[in-house]
C-alpha cells in the first residue's frame, strides 16, 4: 500500500512540476492558463492530503500503533523477582 501511495504522490508532484514549468516557460493562452492553474491547484491539494496521511501513519508507527489500530503489545513481565526489584529501584 505504501508503494502505491508513494507512486501516486510522485506522479501528482511530477505533473504539478510540469504545469509550473509550462506556465513559467511558455506563453500560454489565458484559457489554458486557467485550466492549468485549476489542475495544479487540485494536484497540490492531493499532494498535501497524501503527505498528511503519510505523516499521520508515521506518527502512529512512532507511537507503536499497528495498522489495524490495535494497541501495541505490552512489554513482557519480569522473568524473576530479581528483575522486578531492578525495575522498581530508582538510583536517583
Q: Is the model's pLDDT at 60 over the cut of 60?
A: yes
Alpha-carbon distance of 6 to 26, in angstroms, equals: 30
Q: Is the model's pLDDT at 76 over the cut of 80?
A: no
Give the residue-averaged pLDDT of 54-82. 69
Domain ranges (residues) in the chain: 2-88
The end-to-end CA distance of the chain, in Å, is 47
Q: Is the pTM of this model over 0.85?
A: no
Nearest to 10 by CA among 41, 54, 37, 47: 47
Q: Render the burial of 76-91: b for 16+ CB within 10 Å, e for the rest.
A: eeeeeeeeeeeeeeee
Amino acid at each position: 500500500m505504501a508503494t502505491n501511495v508513494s507512486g501516486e504522490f510522485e506522479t501528482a508532484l511530477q505533473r504539478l512540476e510540469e504545469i509550473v514549468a509550462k506556465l513559467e516557460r511558455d506563453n500560454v493562452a489565458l484559457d489554458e492558463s486557467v485550466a492549468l492553474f485549476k489542475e495544479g491547484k487540485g494536484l497540490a491539494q492531493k499532494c498535501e492530503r497524501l503527505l498528511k496521511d503519510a505523516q499521520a501513519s508515521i506518527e502512529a508507527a512512532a507511537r507503536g500503533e499497528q495498522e489495524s489500530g490495535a494497541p501495541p503489545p505490552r512489554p513482557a513481565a519480569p522473568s524473576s523477582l530479581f528483575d522486578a526489584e531492578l525495575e522498581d529501584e530508582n538510583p536517583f
